[in-house]
Chain A
Amino acid sequence: MSEEFKVEIVNPEKSFLVKDDVSEVVVPAFEGEMGILKDHISIISFLKPGIIKILSKSGDENYYVEDGIVEFKNNNLSILTSTIFNLADMDKSKQQDLLKQAEKEANKTDINDQSKYLADQKVEVLKTLN
């Protein structure tokens, strides 16, 4: 039996990515990074800002996401996200833009703890990219 499963990433505008030869996906779930292999139990979770790593035969891919929901069922992994960038396409200036934006958000004083936490996460992840 092959050890591959299907992953589908959709954002509101379109179906962002469909791959069916994926061996492992690491997603930044809300309570920590989570690696998903074939025949994982059905799970629903949501994402915090971080990097999605997709390992497949045709090469590995990394994506930066800011939020989203993951659903894994019957060896189908669906990731719904509103903000996603392929790291390979992302240049330094774009990263800096995002970082600046995130820092501004994190420095706001009138936000609640959860948004503050998410903004801090964004800053942290983006800093490690640079």
Chain B
Amino acid sequence: MASLDDLKKRIASVKSTQKITKAMKMVAAAKLRRAQESAEKGRPYSDKMNNVILNLSNGISDKENAPKLLSGTGQEKTHLCVVMTSDRGLCGGFNSNIIKKAKSYFAKILDEDKELKIITVGSKGNDQLKRVYGDKIIENISFKESKNANYFDADKVGKMVIEKFEAGEFDVCTIFYNQFKNVITQIPQAQQIIPLNNEGEENSLEESYEFEPDEDEILSNLLPKNISTQIFKAMLENSASEQGSRMSAMDNATRNAGEMVDKLTIEYNRSRQAAITKELIEIISGAESL
């Protein structure tokens, strides 16, 4: 059994850990509110963008000559996966969930003998993936310096993806991120952005638009922007999810630390009592023998 001194030290250390987790929870809660707000504010833009593209791609007359970003290269040999994770740890299963989702997708692709290329956004994802898929990672981006997710960063990633697409480096692009549902639930998502996948969303075009200039030109101008927008949306969702996940993880940690302190205190008191009793017995039996 641990000595009284050891127990005391352990109680103190658990208590200070609890202080840290508690503080982190508070910080995450404050950041969460901001992240959630900006995620909600960002939604109209990406929704509108999606709508316009949907209308456009439905209205396009010549499907054969549609921009490649929309219709694809006609083959599915090389897959590019953009895995978006956080730069910081201590956020529960946030990163592992994305990685798990991504890994099962990777396995499927490799099973089908297709080529796989990975871009990681955020250092935690890179850390977890480089052990197994190190040779597949072609780029690693991290926005440690930016405080909040901003469009400028997303645009950088988007431009890079498009550049690689135009250079013919891949055929299909999928992004992985966590969709924010609420504080305790985040859903890892795999979203295909190239070629644009809007099947199942067939909306009946109730009226036709006038286009100026023509559809093709607008589409080819719009699609690259849409890539950046989708990535930005993923970044916003991700940052809200990260804070939410961290908050609930830290909440659990604080509670567990509290339980541990209680248990240790009981143990401490018991062994203190035991020591006193032992001493008393020794004194009494000593007196009796006289």
Contacts and interface: CB of A to CB of B under 8 A. Distances in A.
B213 A15 contact: no
B150 interface: yes
B55 interface: yes
B52 A44 contact: yes
A69 B222 CA distance: 8
A107 interface: no
B218 interface: yes
A13 B211 contact: no
Interface stretch (B4-12, B40-48, B115-123, B245-253): B40-48
Contact of A42 (B42, B150, B210, B218): B210
Interface residues of A, number: 24
A97 B21 CA distance: 44
Interface in A81-108: 82
A59 interface: no
A15 B37 CA distance: 12
Interface in B136-158: 150-151, 154-155
A82 B210 contact: no
Interface string B198-241: 00000000011111110000100110010001001000000000
A30 interface: yes
Nearest to B37: A14
Interface string B180-195: 0000000000000000
Given A13-B38, A14-B42, A46-B221, A78 B48 contact: yes
A84 to B, nearest CB: 12
A44 B218 contact: yes
Interface string A61-91: 0000001010101000010101000000000
B218 to A, nearest CB: 6
A15 B212 contact: no
B93 to A, nearest CB: 28
B212 A13 contact: no
B49 interface: yes
A73 B205 CA distance: 12
Contacts, number: 73
A80 B225 CA distance: 11
A29 B212 CA distance: 8
Contacts of A29: 212
B212 A43 contact: yes
Given A10-B44, A31-B212, A45 B218 contact: yes
Contact of B218 (A8, A11, A46): A46
Contacts of A14: 38, 41-42
Contacts of A42: 207-210
Interface in A1-50: 8, 10-15, 29-31, 34, 41-46
30 contacts: A10-B44, A10-B45, A10-B48, A12-B46, A13-B38, A13-B151, A14-B41, A14-B42, A15-B44, A30-B213, A31-B212, A41-B210, A42-B207, A43-B212, A44-B55, A44-B209, A44-B210, A44-B212, A45-B211, A45-B213, A45-B218, A46-B222, A69-B49, A69-B218, A71-B48, A71-B51, A73-B209, A80-B45, A82-B151, A82-B225
Given A10-B44, A14-B41, A71-B48, 19 more contacts: A12-B42, A12-B229, A13-B150, A15-B41, A15-B44, A30-B213, A31-B212, A41-B210, A42-B207, A42-B209, A44-B218, A46-B221, A71-B51, A71-B52, A73-B209, A78-B48, A80-B48, A80-B52, A82-B225
